[in-house]
Amino acid sequence: MENKPVIETWFPKLIYVVDGVCNDRIPSYEKEIKKSINKTKRTATLNVNSSHLINRSLQKNKIFFDLTTRIEYHARMFLGNLGYDIEYTKTCCVVNMWYNISNKNDFLFPHAHPGSILAGAYYVKTSEENNIIFYDDMTIPYEPPSKITPLSMTTCNYSCVSGRLLLFRSNFLHSTPIQIDEGEKIVISFNINKI
């Protein structure tokens, strides 16, 4: 007699999501970022106003101390769930942090964050339609099924919500699609690594 078949899943892609992080501090984050809005740069793949190439040390600004502390707390929780021991997670912290400001027609090409163990995004200001896309793999060597299931998905989207913190492994490819609507989106991006 034939046994019942089993579909096993391996090598999961993980996204740690927590909403309501430092909601009471959001106005001060926005104000501080807007003070340095002229200190941004765009590139061919970074089609947003970004401090990434100019200032990646927001975590050293006392205004962002509470946010940095919460990010590191959640990063340690996430790493613990991945199997890292507490001694290792204690040595992990935000090593760089920057902001991106986008408006209508802005976008980010698919990219990853090499050189760190975790990467993440924190949403300061956004409109309802904005989202971030994560990719399993950019190359699809097979014909896609007529019905996409959780076992055949190659992308997933998360809404950009003010106060939302996303953490993911730094090699997880992600992008933001072209912003269709008017309105400003402010996101703080960061990398976590062992110091």
What pLDDT does residue 152 have? 87
In whole angstroms, what separates CA 109 from the centre of its chain? 14
The whole-number average pLDDT for the span 3-27 is 95
- Do 107 and 47 meet the contact criterion of CB atoms below 8 Å apart? yes
The whole-number average pLDDT for the span 157-175 is 97
Q: What is the pLDDT of residues 49-60, one digit of tens each?
A: 999 999 999 999
Per-residue pLDDT band for 140 (boundaries 50, 70, 90) equals low
* Architecture category of domain 15-139+149-194 in CATH: Sandwich (2.60)
- Do 165 and 78 meet the contact criterion of CB atoms below 8 Å apart? no
Q: What is the pLDDT of residues 31-51, one digit of tens each?
A: 999 998 788 999 888 899 999
Domain definitions of the chain by residue range:
15-139+149-194
The DSSP bridge partners found for residue 140 are none
Per-residue pLDDT band for 94 (boundaries 50, 70, 90) equals very high
- Which residue, among 67, 124, 105, 100, has the nearest Cα to 174 in the 3D structure? 100
